[in-house]
Structure 1
Amino acid sequence: MTAGHRGACEHGDPCEHGDHGVQNMEMSDRASHRIVLLAAPRGYCAGVERAVEAVERALDKHGAPVYVRKQIVHNLHVVRDLEAKGAIFVDEIDQVPVGAVTVLSAHGSPPSVYEEAGRRELQLIDATCPLVTKVHVEARRFAGEGRTIVLIGHAGHEEVEGTSGQAPDRTVLVQDLQEAAQVELPTGPIAYLTQTTLSVDETGQIVEALRDRYPELQPPPREDICYATQNRQDAVKAIAPRADVVLVIGSKNSSNSNRLAEVARSTASTTSSRSRSSRRGCGSRCLLGCASRPDERLGVGCAQLQALN
């Protein structure tokens, strides 16, 4: 965690470094004896908050339109809100008019994007999360040492494309345990990096599977999975066994949201039937917010949970 990132987190999310699980708040519907448990931490992580603010400040300073390469964060409501203020989202940098104000998303971009932005003389604002930038620096360092880089992540995700683009000739993508068991790496020194929004548990299993086959596998100086991602997954593990229904508030294309849902399902499957059935009289519901979901959207989720039979 960088010092700047730590400060933003402490000021923007007071729950981020505290105890995981249930915040000291429960929403109760006494008529139906339902309790909604709010997971903590939840809502924006510091990197997402920083990226959204970058677009808003660009609009305030330069006026509309401000172009944004890719979704600034994987949250449709945030994207629509910014579009209403004058942001224009594009898939590729060559869709941006020459000289225009352009923001790069929090997920990071490959070097080719910066090169094209320079050719088009764009007024570039880089909103890449500092923790993603750290992974990019590690990728270039490993490549400079002559290592093959095993990148653990999901094909097609913007962050994976940005990281693999740092050293495309030396990067091998591994997505799951099956690929870890089958991948054939060239001889010579190897290292691994990870997408920052993965499941902590699953990633650990993949790393161990790779190390069983390649004992010389070099880890990054520090774990790449974002502390906000890990904190939210820890909160799921703490709160899900107490609930009959778990609702993850997030967009379908959000890696954070999907990993939280997977952790919730995994945690629920390990909870005994006896302990779960003993809670059915109170009708506990658990509400989670992913790292790219604004906290105000949780009100909608609360209403949905209260409406469940």
Structure 2
Amino acid sequence: MSPIQNNASQLYRITYEAYSKFANGINRCSNFQEIGKVAEKHLKYIFNFHVIKLIIEKDNKFMEYSLCGNNIWFGQKSLADLNNEELNLFKTGIPIRTAHIPENIAQGKLDISKLKNPYLWSWLFNKDDHKMIVSLVADEERVFNSRDIEILKLAADCFDAKFKELNLKREIAKKNRILQGALTTIQNKNEEIYKINRNQKETIKKRTEEIVKKNEKLLKISVLNAHNIKEPLSRIQGIIELFDLMDDESCRQELLPRLKSSVNEMDEIVREVIDMASRELIELKVKIDDPNHFSR
């Protein structure tokens, strides 16, 4: 094997090992901060760059992830935050290699003027349900060439798969929170319904008991007053029988006063019965009509 072939083979092996470590590290990440640490540690051994930037677009929403040296940043972006090269790339899909580098590509974390003949490389990758732009800045000290594009695509796919996984987990967690909130609401409503049903049962029970008590009281009143009415009624019946045995004058002088007295006595008793029954019925109606009475 020639020295050139040997060097190429060794470089390939180093690159493959570096990519394997990078991919395995990304696969174990559980958040974006961990992705940044893995990328900062391993990506520099796969290909050269000063800045690498990924923009993922889905449903007109943009997510940016950037790495510059030890500086890592990511977050939501709007269409207005994209530079002209990125906007043009989203529109045409044509890869870019240009010496015109946007000043804000590294958000002030890299002085472009100190680089030696820097170039901006950008590609657009169309995925199933989203698009992804990968951009990087390299120069003569950190050379990036077309041979590195394939390994860059692999790294981009690795990033994309992990971003998709994390976003899916975030969506699932969000929906779980919504479902948990809905479940809590349902449980609270069920508890309210249970309390309402329990209160209704208690109210019905109390009303029934109240009605039974009033009926018993009315029955006692009727029995008691039936006994009280019986005495004057018996006297009236006796006086009426005496009418057949006495003359008119005797009836007027002796029997009529007694008859009037007995009638008045019975009338008084009947009035008392009516008054007592009326008071009990009115009191019962007030309690039944009062929705808060039986819940006290």
Name the TM tier (shorter chain): under 0.3
Bigger radius of gyration among the two: 2
Higher helix fraction (1 or 2): 2
Higher strand fraction (1 or 2): 1
Name which structure has the greater RCO, CA cutoff 8 Å, separation 6+: 1
- Give TM-score, length-normalised by structure 2: 0.24
- Give TM-score, length-normalised by structure 1: 0.24
